[in-house]
């Protein structure tokens, strides 16, 4: 008889203690996830800022101060997105130049004694 739900395996059964014999784990994985979360949060924040500034621009009604404020907010949001994308590009370039792998800095791997 087949299981309706399926089989659940322990995550520790494949990677060993602390991820030593598998993918990176411990503090490196935590730091990588925090950095990715920060980049996603910054992108979402920039997108929302652009939407709010666009709405402010459309409802300015010819008021030059409101139009200037909206353009400044749009420009600052776009500049923030450029910094986010630029940091990924620089990390890839430096990873390729220094380590021969463009994803080396973005996806660090720690090899343990079993590898």
Q: Is 105 exposed, middle or buried (0-12, 13-18, 19+ CB in 10 A)?
A: middle
User: If you average pLDDT over residues 60-68, what whole number do you get?
Assistant: 91
Burial of 30 per CB tally in 10 Å (0-12, 13-18, 19+): exposed
Alpha helices by DSSP H, listed for the chain, are 12-15, 26-58, 64-99
Q: Is residue 50 part of a domain?
A: yes
Domain-located, residue 11: no
Domain of 51 in residue numbering reads as 23-99
Higher-confidence residue: 13 or 55?
Answer: 55
Residue 38 lies in a domain: yes
The C-alpha torsion from 80 through 82 and 87 to 88, rounded to 10°, is: 120
The total of other beta-carbon atoms located within 10 Å of residue 32's CB is 14
For residue 75, pLDDT beyond 80 = yes
Averaged pLDDT, 91-115 = 79
In 3D space, the residue among 88, 62, 56, 60 whose CA is nearest the CA of residue 74 turns out to be 56
Position 61 scores a pLDDT of: 87
Confidence of residue 115 (pLDDT cuts 50, 70, 90): low
Structural domain total, the chain: 1
* For range 78-100, the mean pLDDT: 90
pLDDT of 47 higher than 60: yes
């Amino acid at each position: 008889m087949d299981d309706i739900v399926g089989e659940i395996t322990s995550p520790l059964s494949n990677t060993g203690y602390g991820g030593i014999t598998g993918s990176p784990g411990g503090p490196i994985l935590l730091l990588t996830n925090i950095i990715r979360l920060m980049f996603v949060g910054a992108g979402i924040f920039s997108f929302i800022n652009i939407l709010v500034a666009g709405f402010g621009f459309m409802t300015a009604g010819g008021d030059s101060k409101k139009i200037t404020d909206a353009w400044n907010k749009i420009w600052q949001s776009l500049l923030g997105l450029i910094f986010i994308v630029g940091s990924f590009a620089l990390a890839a370039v430096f990873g390729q130049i220094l380590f021969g792998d463009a994803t080396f800095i973005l996806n660090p791997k720690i090899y343990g004694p079993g590898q």
